[in-house]
Structure 1
Amino acid sequence: MADTLRVALILETSGGGSGRHLLDLARGLLARGHDVTVIWAPGRAQQDFVDALHAVEGLKTVTVEMARAVGPGDVKSLRALQKVLQCLMPFDILHGHSSKAGALIRLLPRSIPGARIYTPHAFRTMDPGLGQPHRLIYGIIERVLAARATRIIAVSQAEADHASAVLGIAANRLSLVVNGVSLSPDATREAARQAIGLSDQELAVGFIGRLEDQKDPLRFLRGIALAAKRVSHLKAIVIGDGPLRAEAEALAEGSNVHFMGWQDGPRLMPGLDIFCMTSRYEAMPYTLLEAIHGGVPIIMTAVGGANETVLEGVSGHVLPLDCGDQDLGEALVSLARDEARRKSFSSASRHLARSRTIDAMVDDTISIYIDAIAPVSVEAI
């Protein structure tokens, strides 16, 4: 095996957490001397992802049209991807990120060389709001295509457990590589609070993410409304945008909630006193990792990433997935009134953050790549 790996990273979503993961992985692979090509779909590409992608020195990029939904257009996308790979091959690794790219790389004919690696970034079937017919369809697709994957990488233990217990994916096809982050040295508490516009007296509780059903920002705002009645200096900070923005602003009208739209979340995270995540489902959200790196106490629902990131009562609070507004409000009030506990949570989170780095994520992924292309010994057959 050559020391330099030729890796194709394929992505349809082109943004969000999966886009960020791909960019971190691409930069890390390049820094370690590997050859990297990113094949991405422009249809849903976020501009910040596109700008960052084009700024990576030494990275080769190619666009292929892919649609989010399953449909007849997937045949055209598969042919286009096959054509691109035939022009650029051989690759040692074909690594599909999220469901669409993951499905396409596994449907490629075996004449296209390269180990098929798939990172779901949260299986669609992890969504508790998914109807039974769709859950059945997506589950069948994942089970059938799992047999065509060299390795499936889960980004949290919850995702790995779901793959095994719910989807029935064999353990020998599963690996666990937890996401990692690094905060900029200038991401300080003082600079962040100044950028947000917080006074020394205000206690800031932050929500960072897309304003959509999956993230459940309305539950966050209802919990904040209850807590604010008992903690007068509490201020809610909402960083993000999305289809629920208007409804969220209407719900928060007249209360001490600051909607900031999309901002540099990692830079502002250290300015928060509490980070609150009310998602319905996740794999391993980057905001959670940014919170531990920023030393911000966490209150979150029991979604993917909780087990690896928050130890109940030691580094934060994990609430039941279906927790009500009153439960969330009580947890916020309790932590807001207990400065000593917040400091203790912060210290525990910073300690854990030392092992949740981009370098660790890249190195663990490379180990999987090397194992995936290693020849099978006669003794192992």
Structure 2
Amino acid sequence: MKEIVHITEAFGGGVLSMLTQLSNRAAAAGVGVTILHSIRPETPNNFASLFHPAVKLVYVSMFREVSVKKDWTSMWELVRKLKECNPSVVHLHSSKAGVLGRAAARVAAPRARVFYSPHGLAFLRRDVSAAKQFAYLSFERIAARMGGTIVACSKSEQHEIETQMRTRNTEMIENGVNVLEIPSRLEKDGREVVVGMSGRASFQKNHEAFVQLATDLRNSTTQFLWIGGNLDELPGQTASDSVVCSGWVTRERALALTSGLDIYVQTSRWEGMPIALIEAQVAGIPAVVTDVVGNRDVVLHGQTGFVATTHEDMQKYIAMLRDDPILRARMGETAKRTASRRFSMEAIFRKWLSVYEFGSDRYLKEPVESNEFESYEPTSESQY
């Protein structure tokens, strides 16, 4: 029996979304799966129920911030757990696991094939100093020398890896979603246009820019909706007049609210490849996004939405889509058609099995495009 061990400290958000998809499908296809994970504030309380019963969930104490003492202890705990699992594949998710996991795998599983998915490169973070950015980059360069294959989730991320980390041992497999569970954009009568974004309030997501767009563009027929956010998290005194907030919502509710949007906005300062944006495109919603890694890879500029390099460009593109229902419909149809094919998790999963070298034909004799073990309802914060 083949055995995959996933390791992640970042047990929430897009990492959790991809882990449930990959793990549940592999388990349903007869592959042994163990997840060595820590807990973050955004980890949903019901995380165990999100996984196929055959997936083994094992807690390992890991911490997001750098601490020599804590990281050393975490690394040796990973060594012990890996020796118990005896994996043929070790798949690491996000930066902390990428460093600790490669060191642990060299000691405990030297014959295993090791893969590292950054899910957003830490040295691209803009909420830390230049010194910390350089430190994160240095850690990535050192870890890359310990072996393994780095798997980027977008062409832009792969470019950053190869040029900044100075390694060519890379693959590129985009993020995927279960297309069948995403409701299509609602057809509406009337002139009202709903512009929205989904996710938690954070420096990365740049919700301040969303509030500013709403302040500048909102009128009697244009509504701005923040899915998953609360009003007290928004900056400024005018936010309550410009933005409607859904508050905490389940994943199912977040998808339903997204289907009611006419334009999706992603104001991120940096990304890996955002799942919420992919879901909006699959739903058939044109998007206006910032020109950063991940965003620019999902949206086909001028075809499924617009990629904006400045705040003024975002205003212009949103206004263009708001005022032209024919353009919105055309771009939405193109988004749905291309994204549903490109980001189908069934195709993405086959690519992963091929990279793992398990042989996709052998393990996919029966279809696994099923919601039985894939449907789950984390908070919108934990998903996005």
Normalising TM by the smaller chain, what interval? 0.7 to 0.9
The within-5 A match list for 1:279-290 is 279-290=268-279
Shift of 1:266: 2.6
TM-score by length of 2: 0.86
Instruction: Tell me what 2:282 maps to.
Output: 293
Deviation at 1:32? 2.0
> 1:147 aligned to 2:134?
no
Query: Are 2:320 and 1:334 aligned?
Result: yes
- Counterpart residue number, 2:12: 15
**Residue number among 162, 165, 190 corresponding to 2:163 in the alignment:** 165
Conserved? CA contact 2:201–2:233, under 8 Å: no
Structure 1 match to 2:345? 358
Q: Find the counterpart in structure 1 of residue 381 from structure 2.
A: none
Structure 2: any 5+ residue segments left out of the alignment?
360-384
Amino acid of the structure 2 residue aligned with 1:203? V
What amino acid is aligned across from residue 61 of structure 1 in structure 2?
L
SS at match of 1:254: helix
Aligned 8 A contact 1:14 1:44 in 2: no
Whole-angstrom CA distance in 1 between matches of 2:313 and 2:281: 23
Within 5 A, what are the aligned runs for 1:202-351? 202-228=192-218, 231-241=219-229, 245-248=232-235, 250-255=237-242, 257-263=243-249, 264=251, 265-320=254-309, 323-324=310-311, 326-351=312-337
Q: Select 2:356's aligned residue among 369, 372, 375.
A: 369
- Measure how far apart 1:248 and its partner are: 3.5
Change beyond 3 A, Cα 1:269–1:249 = farther
Distance 1:259 1:109 in 2: 44
Q: Distance in 2 between matches of 1:164 and 1:94?
A: 22
Give percent identity, aligned residues only: 28
**Unaligned 5+ runs, structure 1:** 373-381
Match of residue 179 from structure 1: 175
Runs of 4+ in 1 over 4 A off after TM superposition: 183-186, 198-201
Please report how far the alpha carbon of residue 224 of structure 1 lies from its aligned counterpart in structure 2 after TM superposition: 1.5
1:377 maps to: none
Task: Note if contact 1:116-1:148 (Cα within 8 Å) is conserved in structure 2.
Answer: no
Q: How many angstroms does 1:84 deviate by?
A: 1.5
Q: What is the aligned counterpart of 2:88 among 78, 86, 92?
A: 92
**What secondary structure sits across from 1:110 in the alignment?**
helix
Q: Tell me the distance in 2 between the aligned counterparts of 1:251 and 1:165.
A: 43
Q: Which amino acid aligns with 1:297?
A: P
Cα deviation 1:306-338 (Å, max 9, x = unaligned): 343222111101001xx23x4322221111000
Distance 1:227 1:132 in 2: 34
Task: Tell me the SS of whatever aligns to 2:7.
Answer: strand
- d(CA) in 2 for partners of 1:49, 1:162: 35
Q: Which has the higher contact order (CA 8 A, sep 6+)?
A: 2
Q: Residues 173 and 351 of structure 2 are in contact (CA less than 8 Å); yes or no, is this contact kept in structure 1?
A: yes
Residues 186 and 28 of structure 1, relative CA distance in 2, 3 Å threshold: closer
What is the rounded CA distance, in whole Å, between the counterparts of 1:133 and 1:188 in structure 2?
44
Map of 1:376 onto structure 2: none
Deviations 1:199-250 (A, max 9, x none): 854211011011111000110110121111xx421011101248x9433374
* Aligned Cα root-mean-square deviation (Å): 2.3
Distance 1:186 1:360, change over 3 A: closer
2:216 maps to amino acid: L
Write out per-residue CA displacement over residues 19-57 of structure 1, whole angstroms, 9 at most, x where no aligned residue.
11111110121122211011111244511561444x422
Q: Judging changes above 3 Å, is the alpha-carbon distance between structure 1 residues 43 and 218 closer, same or farther for their aligned structure 2 residues? A: closer
C-alpha spacing 1:162/1:245, structure 2 compared with 1 (3 Å): farther
In 1, the alpha carbon distance for the partners of 2:181 and 2:119 equals: 28
Distance in 2 (alpha carbons) for counterparts of 1:20 and 1:186: 14
Question: Which moves more between the two structures, 294-303 or 42-51?
Answer: 42-51
Contact 1:13 / 1:44 at 8 angstroms: preserved in 2? Answer: no
